[in-house]
Structure 1
Amino acid sequence: MKKLKVIELFAGVGGFRLGLENTGNYEVVWSNQWEPATKAQHASMVYEARFGSENHSNQDISEVPTGEIPDADILVGGFPCQDYSVATTLQNSRGLIGKKGVLWWSIHKILSEKKNPPKYLFLENVDRLLKSPSTQRGRDFAIMLKSLGELGYAVEWRVINAADYGMPQRRRRIFFIAYHKSTAIYKKLKKADSSQWLNDIGTISEAFPVHHILENHKRFSIEGNLVEISETFNQGEKLSPFANSGVFVDGRAHTAKAFANYEGGKTVLNDVLQNGEVTPEFFIPAEDVPKWEYLKGSKKEVRTAKTGFQYNYSEGAMVFPDALDNASRTIITGEGGKSPSRFKHVVQSSKGLRRLTPVELERLNMFPDDHTKLEGVTDAKRAFFMGNALVVGVVEKIGKKLFDKINQ
């Protein structure tokens, strides 16, 4: 069977590519990685070192002419969570434009300008997307669904915690797949009972099974144009209408809460450790241990803001050191470096307390060992990459199922 051609945007160090290539069914024909705030493009350098520089672009995607991007079957990427609001402009005869620099609109531009747009999209984001912004819960996701609908796509989504399916990290992310109306899957989804799609016949539910009890069903139309949605969607409501799974087809959303159903093996933090090969700089000096204990501990104290305002601050204790018999906590971008922190991982080893190594962090995201190792790339930077990355195993499972469905 023919491999599907892929455009990979916001590629980072290539997590999407690894997951898709692991299936043997996908071929990346063009990729883009650009870090706006930094001079040295380290992620792009790692990407090129691993996958080669051919057909890889390291420039701001919003400035890449659509004509330079080749046709492909599927567009993938983990795009940043930003403010997706829409403004009207007089100069723009189409009346709509998203904020400059907001990368959702770069995807939108590619889809709307290409003569042969990709038939499938496979995208990832933080689960906060379903309820942002806090002043208008769910508005950003509604804009996204509506804009995809107008471009001729139906969408299914699910929030997946990798650890719920035996993977080594508790990392909760929203994954969504869009199907163009010219595809057989779009027609199937349109005809299907949407509850059944969410329960067991959808691409994501086949890859990541759920218990057949969906809760908090909501069915609603997303009305109005993008500007109206931007200004009025869910105004004055405390909760987002979007639950952790759903479909959107023909202007209507059906969303419900799904629960993971998995009984297989589990990888835990202890399984990824490099115990015998850890160099001294990862060990915590005895004099720093009290600082770590304080930051990880519970607190109830009076703090003073810069303005002089005093307030009561409290937070609960974190497990310290991290439990080895469970999946790890989520890796964040500030994971690297020696300074004590509430959020960095610390494990107990025979030689004392220590932080996690770059290889261990790679393993928690199911990357190959030393994937991010490159001259000039610090350990802290490697940790930052993993804080930004996704769990490769999730992409692989969905990618495999999507390929099967396309070829049914």
Structure 2
Amino acid sequence: MPKKGKPEKLKVIELFAGVGGFRLGLEGWSGKSACSQYRMPLRASNEGGYEVVWSNQWEPSTKKQHANEVYENRWPESGHCGDDISTVKTKEIPDHDVLVGGFPCQDYSVATTLKNSKGLKGKKGVLWWEIERIISEKGRKAPKYIFLENVDRLTKSPASQRGRDFAIILASLADLDYAVEWRVINAGDYGMPQRRRRIFIMGYRKGTPEYKRLKGLKSKSDWMELGPVGEAFPIAPLQMTGVQQGDLIGDLAELSQSFNTDKKKALSPFSKAGVMVNRTYWTAKVETMFDEERVTLGDVLQPLKDVPQMFRVEKSDLEKWQYHKGAKRIPKVNKALGYEYIFSEGAMSCPDPLDRPSRTVITGEGGASPSRTKHIIKQGRTWRRLTPVELERLNMFPDNHTELNEVSDGRRAFFMGNALVVGVIERIGTALLESMNEQPVQAKKPAEKEGVS
């Protein structure tokens, strides 16, 4: 039992945990890092906050489970499962207040039953339905809050039916009694050291303070500014003419077949931000509001004396790097159809500028071979690649979080290409804690064109 007056921690399960980005953001941590060393401290709270009581990480595409090994090494005392989540029974998962996870962007289409849902061809199944299964089977003990992360193209997938996959996710959550808030956030726009754009999805279960506050708003779109995500990542005031409203009609199979099929090449109806209650959604393009100090790529660099020789670029290789980064117009032939075409691409900065947030780190960042997508910097007179520690700092992880004897530097880079920016999770998590004690909010604007749900 918690001591009198001491807030009880929210119990969290972390799915598709990777190397623990959600956990770091919610539980906090301390020590040498990009955050403590470069003006962006994460809290390391022992009072209230969040506690991860169960986690799962399993990568079906690899025999070696390196991410799982890193996670278990960092949190050896916690309840962690390294099995395929589809084989884990819901009754084996502890009851929890918050379900979090970064799940893959896949094909969420459904036929007459969820069992017929098809994922991408390959080893990975459609992991969204594992989230849906856990929530559904928990019944009255389902989590109060859902906090998910995905690539921003989720709102536009698939190309043949723009927005269908996101519509299915929204409808699924509505049918499970959740109101939903979403936002595409570029971490670099809010002072963080990497330009990494991802969609963050918050689900508030019926009965929570957030659900009641959102339901009580005459103008539901105000929640984009007033909800936890809006508090954590402010936006410019919305213009009513820019808010679009729609309804998700039909069961999941009907949505799968007919959503956004009215016009050929129709655009997705879902914009960068939005809310949904009872299958009615409001969505808008939003503008970032941020005028605080920013962390740049140059801020997170290690001293050159601490950089191993293997990360330095030899003069003989520099020309190859510059070629890959340069503009190109290359005649090519389509082998299938036999016609000639010009392959072209624009120039990229070489070296990467140190006075702004870095480009997005991708999974192919590791390795010494010259590449268009990898980072290359000039530190003093030395050209070099980024080290694993610097890649961790760009995602606001602790230094050497992914260091393990069996894990190569290339694999550590791969982890960071898959990871999220921890500071985004910390800010939203903090805002959610604060919102639980707030009183109902008042609409900022009249409810014209918005209907009450």
Q: Report the TM range for the smaller structure's normalisation.
A: over 0.9
Contact 2:321 2:371 in 1 (8 A): yes
Q: CA deviation at 1:182?
A: 2.2
Calculate the TM-score normalised by the size of structure 1: 0.96
Q: Distance in 2 between matches of 1:62 and 1:97?
A: 15
Corresponding letter in the other structure for 1:163: G
- The residue that corresponds to 1:230 in the other structure is 256
Specify the alignment match of 1:398 in structure 2: 428
Please give the secondary structure, in 2, of the residue aligned with 1:86: coil
Within the candidate set 363, 368, 371, 2:398 is matched to 368
Using the TM superposition, give the Cα deviation of residue 306 of structure 1 relative to its aligned residue in structure 2, in angstroms.
4.7
Aligned to 1:4: 10
Task: Say if 2:123 is the partner of 1:99.
Answer: no
Q: TM-score normalized by structure 2? A: 0.86
Question: How large is the Cα RMSD of the aligned pairs?
Answer: 1.4
Question: In the alignment, is the contact (CA less than 8 A) between 2:242 and 2:284 conserved in 1?
Answer: yes
* Greater mean deviation of Cα atoms: 246-255 or 310-319: 310-319
The match for 1:154 among 139, 160, 179 is 179
Is the 1:156–1:176 Cα contact (8 Å) retained in structure 2? yes
Secondary structure class of the residue paired with 2:295: coil
Secondary structure, in 3 states, of the residue corresponding to 2:331? strand
Q: Counterparts of 1:107-126 in structure 2 under 5 Å?
A: 107-115=131-139, 116-126=141-151
Match of 2:54 among 20, 27, 30: 30
Q: Within 1, Cα distance between the matches of 2:23 and 2:116?
A: 30
The number of residue pairs the alignment matches comes to 402
Conservation of the 8 A alpha-carbon contact between 1:96 and 1:227: no
- Residues 242 and 285, structure 2, Cα contact 8 Å, conserved in 1: yes
Per-residue CA distance 1:226-247 (angstroms, 9 max, x = gap)? 0111011111343110000000
**Aligned pair partner of 1:334 in 364, 367, 370:** 364
User: What is the identity percentage for the equivalent residue pairs of Structure 1 and Structure 2?
Assistant: 58
Which amino acid letter does the alignment assign opposite residue 27 of structure 2? Answer: E
Amino acid paired to 1:352: T
More strand by share: 1
Distance of 1:54 and 1:274 partners within structure 2: 32
Is 1:283 the equivalent of 2:312? yes
Bigger drift between 136-145 and 344-353 goes to 344-353
For residue 305 of structure 1, report the CA deviation from its aligned partner: 4.2
What is the CA-CA distance between 1:405 and the residue it aligns to?
A: 1.2
Q: What amino acid maps onto 2:342 in structure 1?
A: N
Residue segments in structure 2 that go unaligned for 5+ positions in a row: 1-6, 29-42, 120-124, 439-453
Question: Partner amino acid for 1:81?
Answer: C
Of 218, 227, 239 in structure 1, the residue corresponding to residue 244 of structure 2 is 218
Conserved? CA contact 2:221–2:275, under 8 Å:
no
For the residue of structure 2 that corresponds to 1:145, the secondary structure is helix
Distance between the aligned counterparts of 1:195 and 1:129, measured in 2? Answer: 21
User: What code does the residue aligned with 2:303 have?
Assistant: N
2:21 maps to amino acid = G
| CA apart distance, 1:2 | 1.0
**How far has the Cα of 1:309 moved from its partner?**
4.6
Shift of 1:291: 1.4
The separation in 2 between residues aligned to 1:383 and 1:310, in whole angstroms, is 37
Corresponding residue of 2:34: none
Alpha-carbon distance between aligned partners in 2 of 1:147 and 1:46, rounded to the nearest angstrom:
33
Counterpart of 1:92 in structure 2 is: none
Quote the residue 2:345 is aligned against: 315
Once the two structures are TM-superposed, the CA of residue 187 in structure 1 deviates from its matched residue by: 1.4
Counterpart check, 1:249 vs 2:249:
no
Q: Is the 8 A contact 1:167 1:393 kept in 2?
A: yes
Aligned counterpart, 1:180: 205
**1:28 deviation in Å?**
0.3
1:295 aligned to which of 324, 327, 340: 324
Q: Distance in 1 between matches of 2:391 and 2:176?
A: 38
Deviation at 1:197, TM superposition (A): 1.1
The residue that corresponds to 2:26 in the other structure is: 20
Q: CA offset at residue 53 of structure 1?
A: 5.2
Q: Secondary structure at the match of 2:185?
A: strand
C-alpha deviations, 1:46-76, integer Å up to 9, x for none? 0011111531000111111111000000000
Provide the residue aligned with 1:195 in structure 2: 221
- 1:82 and 2:106 aligned: yes
Other structure's SS at 1:149 match: helix
